[in-house]
A and B are shown apart, each in its own frame.
Chain A
Amino acid sequence: MAFLELKNITKRFNKFVAVEDFNLNVEKGEFVSFLGPSGCGKTTTLRMIAGFETATEGNIYINGEDVVRRPPNQRNIGMVFQSYALFPNMTVADNIGFGLKVAKKTSAEIKARVDETLKLIHMSEFRSRYPYQMSGGQQQRVALARALAIKPQVLLLDEPLSALDAKIRVELRNEIRSIQRELGITTIYVTHDQEEALSLSDWVVVMNTGHIEQIGTPFEIYNFPTTPFVASFVGTLNIIYVDVVDPTQGVLSLEGQEIFANKTVRKPALDKVRIALRPEIIKLSVSDETANELKGIVDSIAFLGAIVRMRVKIGLTKFSVDLFNNPDLKLPKEGEQISVYFSRDACLVLQD
């Protein structure tokens, strides 16, 4: 049995189904992210693990025990909120020591644990400050320390970085991951930011309308999406309508130019089908003789810092091509005719 197991979890609010038939196994020490758009049920699922919502159906096992009917204050779960939720009337040390006080630890034990946790988040000199005397990033680090101080069985983080600015977000996300690895604590992280989910997690659970769309490693989720939703939600994606030429051989056509997809297509010849292509997988030079080649016209070029995004037009179809920026990069001019290349395996046919 997995350390954290969610079995056939369903949550209904009157007639609205927020989460349906959710199944997940998380091993001890794993970092799992729930990724999805607003209203997909990711926070509701997290709140059911915490005990703030009760599952309408199903079971939640932590370390072999069914906790679904147990109140939140008896689950030994650490929770970090988007709004930090530090107690404004308490100092940093009192906030971190709150859970230990509740657990009736001695003042020596509390002090030692508070010191240890403050050291972990590199904020030992902040112990006497009040929440209003700290920045958002510092407050969230204290919130993390407070959740960790009680040595919880599972750590839950509900969009903890959403309220912070971009630079702090990246710094803190790396810190969260390194602390999680150091302590080996089983962690569930809710986010709608794919970069966060992909960079932090051992496993990513992509959710949509209360259902799991796909569970996989970040690499699998990004490179091998199994549903059209995952393909479109994770990363930037070109969705291109093409004509089916030979369904058994996976031959397609865009404005008369053939595309080979290395896969059989479920639709008959002459029907339209959608293909998905990552912008960064399309190249300006050929590296493989079997690669697909499309001729088009450069519609626009946008400089985005680390990458240069080029829009290429073929007939009425436009798609993006991302090139890594470097000082030697030779870019075509807008309106110039060019050839672009992509491997047959990179061409994902959306079978819907």
Chain B
Amino acid sequence: MKKTKIWSWIWIFLGGLYFFVPLYATLRFSLMMKKDVLSFMAYEQVIKDPKFLEAFTFSAEMALLTIVVSLILVVPTAYWVHLRLPKLKPFMEFITMLPFVIPAIVLVFGMIRTYSKPPLLLVSSPALLVAAYVVLALPYMYRSVDVGLRAIDVRALTEAAQSLGAGWPRILFQVIFPNLRSALLGGTFLTFAIVIGELTIANSLAWKALGPYMTTLAGMKAYEPAALAVMSFALTWGSIAILQFLGKGRGGAAPENMAGMH
């Protein structure tokens, strides 16, 4: 028993090293722009660059649009599948897992081929980028909502509200959605984290998003890309921290239920 415990700690320690050493190295490197002194100069340089702001704003806008479209698409679908078409659950799981199986590069080339000639000339529209991001975020958004719906008795709550005279808008907005708060926040933050740093699709569709900006910067400069990587990490971790904080207490499934899908 004792021996097993020691081994457990050794594995945890090794795992920690594997994760934290590169992160620490990146952080330390990003602070070494000034010779012989640790400073935030690289960070200042990044923030000062107008291209960074432009790329970040664009990615953030795309992330928000992706979140809105994903929520409109996924939440009613998942709710209806839970309520009326439970037999479709395995099919839905399969569909929503496809973005994990199909690489982003395959998806984007398929999109370019399909939407680069009339009548569907959408390749230069940000709508196509959002559409691609919706597909990319689908597993995360669907799973989050699905976990939230599994945690409540959707059918009984819906029927209870119906028997009390409520119509569909009231059932959705006053009974179902408030009880999916954590799940919706989970899906939202995960989607934001994915879109904000996405490279392949933005690059292939020639958008000046944060991902391509980071890659370009990495080819030209030494310290700034490291600073950007740390900032990107901080943003993702910040999102998760907010999610953990907001998910406490009432409001459906706790976010830890979704941790398994990262």
Footprint of B on A, CB under 8 Å?
50-52, 71-79, 81, 83, 85-89, 98-99, 102-103, 130, 132, 143, 146-147, 150, 156
Find out whether the CB atom of B163 lies under 8 angstroms from the CB atom of A77.
yes
List of B residues within 8 angstroms of A146 by Cβ: 160, 164
List of A residues within 8 angstroms of B164 by Cβ: 73, 98-99, 102, 146-147, 150
Taking a contact as CB atoms closer than 8 A, the residue among B157, B162, B174, B175 that contacts A73 in the complex is: B162
Question: Mind listing 7 A-B residue pairs with CB under 8 Å?
Answer: A50-B159, A52-B159, A52-B162, A85-B160, A89-B175, A89-B181, A98-B161
List of B residues within 8 angstroms of A87 by Cβ: 157, 160-161, 175, 179
Known A88-B250, A130-B250; contact A102-B160, beta-carbon cutoff 8 A? no
Tell me, in angstroms, the Cα distance from A99 to B179 when the chains sit together.
18
Find out whether the CB atom of B179 lies under 8 angstroms from the CB atom of A89.
yes
List of A residues within 8 angstroms of B175 by Cβ: 87, 89
Surface stretch bound by A, among B30-38, B165-173, B199-207, B237-245:
B165-173
Tell me, in angstroms, the Cα distance from A75 to B164 when the chains sit together.
9
Find out whether the CB atom of A72 lies under 8 angstroms from the CB atom of B179.
no
List of A residues within 8 angstroms of B99 by Cβ: none
Known A98-B164, A99-B164, A102-B170; contact A89-B250, beta-carbon cutoff 8 A? yes
Taking a contact as CB atoms closer than 8 A, the residue among B153, B156, B165, B181 that contacts A150 in the complex is: B165
List of A residues within 8 angstroms of B179 by Cβ: 87-89
Find out whether the CB atom of A85 lies under 8 angstroms from the CB atom of B251.
no
Taking a contact as CB atoms closer than 8 A, the residue among B163, B178, B251 that contacts A79 in the complex is: B163
Given contacts A73-B164, A73-B166, A81-B159, 4 further A-B contacts (CB under 8 A): A85-B156, A98-B161, A98-B174, A99-B165
Q: How far is the CB of A77 from chain B (nearest CB, A)?
A: 6
Find out whether the CB atom of B157 lies under 8 angstroms from the CB atom of A85.
yes
Q: Which 8 A-B pairs have the closest CB atoms?
A: A99-B164, A85-B156, A85-B160, A79-B163, A89-B178, A102-B165, A72-B162, A73-B162
List of A residues within 8 angstroms of B250 by Cβ: 88-89, 130, 132
List of B residues within 8 angstroms of A89 by Cβ: 175, 178-179, 181, 250-251
Tell me, in angstroms, the Cα distance from A52 to B163 when the chains sit together.
9
Known A130-B250, A150-B165; contact A72-B156, beta-carbon cutoff 8 A? no
Tell me, in angstroms, the Cα distance from A150 to B164 when the chains sit together.
7
Does B74 reach chain A (CB closer than 8 Å)? Answer: no
Known A89-B178, A99-B165; contact A72-B159, beta-carbon cutoff 8 A? yes
Q: How far is the CB of B254 from chain A (nearest CB, A)?
A: 13
Tell me, in angstroms, the Cα distance from A156 to B163 when the chains sit together.
10
Does B152 reach chain A (CB closer than 8 Å)? Answer: yes
Query: Which residues of B, 9-64, contact A by the 8 Å Cβ criterion?
Result: none
Taking a contact as CB atoms closer than 8 A, the residue among A73, A78, A98, A147 that contacts B167 in the complex is: A73
Query: When each residue 167-204 of chain B gets 1 if its CB lies under 8 Å from chain A and 0 otherwise, what string results?
Result: 10010001100110100000000000000000000000
List of B residues within 8 angstroms of A102 by Cβ: 164-166, 170
Find out whether the CB atom of B157 lies under 8 angstroms from the CB atom of A79.
no
Tell me, in angstroms, the Cα distance from A81 to B154 when the chains sit together.
13
Which residue, B162, B167, B250, has most C-beta atoms of chain A within 10 A? B162
Q: How far is the CB of A178 from chain B (nearest CB, A)?
A: 23
List of A residues within 8 angstroms of B160 by Cβ: 79, 81, 85-87, 143, 146
Tell me, in angstroms, the Cα distance from A90 to B170 when the chains sit together.
14
Q: How far is the CB of B248 from chain A (nearest CB, A)?
A: 13
Taking a contact as CB atoms closer than 8 A, the residue among A83, A88, A132, A147 that contacts B163 in the complex is: A147
Tell me, in angstroms, the Cα distance from A75 to B170 when the chains sit together.
17
List of A residues within 8 angstroms of B161 by Cβ: 87, 98
Tell me, in angstroms, the Cα distance from A28 to B165 when the chains sit together.
22
List of A residues within 8 angstroms of B181 by Cβ: 89
Which residue, A50, A76, A79, A130, has most C-beta atoms of chain B within 10 A? A79
Identity of the chain B residue whose Cβ is nearest the Cβ of A84 in the assembled complex: B156
Q: How far is the CB of B240 from chain A (nearest CB, A)?
A: 24
Tell me, in angstroms, the Cα distance from A79 to B163 when the chains sit together.
6
Tell me, in angstroms, the Cα distance from A132 to B157 when the chains sit together.
15
Find out whether the CB atom of A50 lies under 8 angstroms from the CB atom of B163.
yes
List of B residues within 8 angstroms of A77 by Cβ: 163
Find out whether the CB atom of B156 lies under 8 angstroms from the CB atom of A103.
no
Q: How far is the CB of B120 from chain A (nearest CB, A)?
A: 40
List of A residues within 8 angstroms of B159 by Cβ: 50, 52, 72, 79, 81, 85
List of B residues within 8 angstroms of A150 by Cβ: 164-165
Tell me, in angstroms, the Cα distance from A191 to B165 when the chains sit together.
25
Find out whether the CB atom of A103 lies under 8 angstroms from the CB atom of B165.
yes
Tell me, in angstroms, the Cα distance from A128 to B157 when the chains sit together.
20
